[in-house]
Structure 1
Amino acid sequence: MDKNPVNTFSAEVNGESINKLRPIENESSEQAEVEAAEKVINAMRYYRQYCLMKLKRRSDAISK
């Protein structure tokens, strides 16, 4: 699996991942909501890491 935060974030929020969450019929709707929330939280964490890396690179470029 690609560890690049940008690629991981894109994979988490693409339409296929979102559509896979909708047809869960064997589990309770509460469990499905928990799983969906966990996926969103993980995607946000990866995006935060990506933004922090960009800021660090800009900061390093400015300080040189």
Structure 2
Amino acid sequence: MINGAGKTVDKKESCVVSFTGGTINIVDSGGVDDHITWTVTADDGNGNPATSTCEVVVVNPGKGKK
């Protein structure tokens, strides 16, 4: 990835996510404008599967505040 200053930044190890049961915990987002995507799969009691892809985009909550 090239940052705003034109420098190459290696972010392969920057996103840290854990999960327990149905809870996902983003420990380290990796930084503003990163996209964190995951896929969940479940089935009903009859074994019919359903898959969904979810995504969040990291923002700076303080940007623009005075």
TM-score normalised to structure 1 length: 0.26
- Bigger relative CO (Cα 8 Å, ≥ 6 apart): 1
Normalising by structure 2, we get a TM-score of 0.26
Higher strand share: 2
Q: Which has the higher helix share?
A: 1
